Amino acid sequence: MASSRKDAKGYALHTGECQRSDGRYAYSYTDPEGTRRTVYAKSLAELRQKERKIIRDMEDGIDAHFPERVTLNQLYDKYIGQKYDLKPTTKANYMYMYEHFVRDGFGRRKISSIRYTDIKKFYYGLLIDRKVSPATLDNVHTVLHPAFQMGVRDGLIRVNPSEGVMAEIKKSHFWVKPKRHALTVPQQRALTEFVTNNREFCGWYPVFIVLLGTGMRIGECLGIRWDDLDFENRVISVNHNLTQNPHADGTCTKHISTPKTRAGERTIPMIDEVVDAFLKEYEMQKCMNYESEEIDGFTNFVFLTSGGSVLSAGSVNRALDRITKSFNEQEADAAKKEKREPMVIPHFSAHHLRHTFCTRLCENETNLKVIQSVMGHKDIQTTMDIYAEATEEKKQEIMANLQGKIII
């Protein structure tokens, strides 16, 4: 009977194990591809812990050697390189988030060493130390989670270390995500009247009213062409989207893409104010003899600059910011003279106009499927969340009107 090999302390060594002359222990094995591999440890107990992991990984089809060398940067680059289904703007945003917040620091770590607690520490560091907004942290997680998931599916790592981290962070007091609120009815009326009658801003009236009266996303609205308007049946065909793809030098290129989601391809009925806004824009362009620029073969756009360029989302949002500041200044002066509290309108963007439209729609319509269709929401939960908020305000109004009518 062959005698078993032993180490310097007299412990029996298993097949593949040996003790080197310097006292270190080594375990040699053949990986699934037939390559001989060796791992080392200072003690026999440490070596056997590594052995168990190697055997378990090979049984589960995980390459025990390769992940030891793969960094998060390499994993992400492989992931983003295979995302053929992403729209150019979405892919650009993903890449910006990763390059700006992950690559030069956390991204250099080996994926085999990253644990749940490491992800949590990294996220809290962004939230607390770097003062990123909750929305930005959400975007970073949107980039990392699927990259790790690809690593799991490829057999590089056993579990996704980012799984469940955001759910835990969102329960903490550090997670304060500002809620986007719609304009109130008095704010909406006052602002609409201000834009209508102000000589400086009346040129923005058509796009302001169309955004407020249709709930279109800003890219959908600015991408509208006269060909997409059916005045006879009073409907807008939303079938494409204007995007601006950023470049490394800070410039952007305009492109036409499909709507954000399949649900985004829809028709929206036009109310009287929206019809009038389009006709007002048409008359102005006719008088000024505007000629629309061409973008990816599309032309005849509705909302143009004086030079014929299609309006950008940035220019619209900057205009809304100027309108708001000017209104608040005028309102503050009027309130002071009238000895009342001013009706201050908070900073808002084109998306707040979409949210305002959806809120008004929810206040006057109970069919959630109709609301979802008009808004182009992919997920009914998005519609329900806005509907719940809108009906809560309506409930308060109804109860206030019941004062003195219930208990009499």
Q: What is the pLDDT of residues 221-248, one digit of tens each?
A: 999 999 999 999 999 999 999 988 766 5
Q: What's the mean per-residue pLDDT of the chain? A: 88
Q: Burial letters for 335-347: b for 16+ Cβ neighbours within 10 Å, e otherwise?
A: eeeeeeeebebee
Of the given ranges (69-78, 272-281, 319-328), which has the lowest mean pLDDT?
69-78
Q: Which domains does the chain have, with CATH numbers?
A: 17-62 (no CATH), 72-169 (1.10.150.130), 185-398 (1.10.443.10)
Pair 151, 163: CB distance under 8 Å:
no
Cα separation values, 214 from 33, 114, 220, 277, 296, Å: 60, 47, 11, 11, 25
DSSP H or E stretch at residue 285 = helix 272-288
Give the Cα separation of 292 and 298 in Å (integer). Answer: 9
18-32, 64-78, 205-219, 375-389: least confident range: 64-78
What confidence score (pLDDT) does residue 1 get? 40
Give the C-alpha separation, 122 to 141, whole Å.
11
DSSP 8-class letter at 86: S
Between 262 and 189, where is the model more confident?
A: 189
Residue 123 CB-density burial (10 A; 0-12 exposed, 13-18 middle, 19+ buried) = buried
Please give the pLDDT value at position 253: 84
What pLDDT digit, counting tens, does each position of 151-172 carry?
988 878 889 999 999 999 999 8
Report CA-CA distances (Å) from 169 to 108, 121, 138.
Answer: 23, 10, 11
Least confident stretch, 114-123, 137-146, 173-182: 173-182
SS3 6: strand
Check pLDDT > 60 for residue 365: yes
The CA-based dihedral angle spanning residues 96, 100, 101, 106, taken in that order and rounded to the nearest 10 degrees = 110
If you average pLDDT over residues 270-289, what whole number do you get?
91
Q: Answer with the residue of higher pLDDT: 398 or 190.
A: 190
| Sheet with 235-238, side-by-side order of all strands | 229-230, 235-238, 266-269
Q: What is the mean pLDDT of residues 306-321?
A: 92
Query: Rounded to whole angstroms, how far apart are CA atoms 296 and 304?
Result: 16
What is the DSSP secondary structure assignment for residue 295, as one 8-state letter?
B
DSSP string, 45-58: HHHHHHHHHHHHHH
Which residues face 243 on adjacent strands? 255
Q: Which amino acid does the sequence have at 183?
A: L
Task: Please give the radius of gyration of the chain, using alpha carbons only, rounded to the nearest integer.
Answer: 30
**Under DSSP, is residue 256 helix (H, G, I), strand (E, B) or coil?**
strand
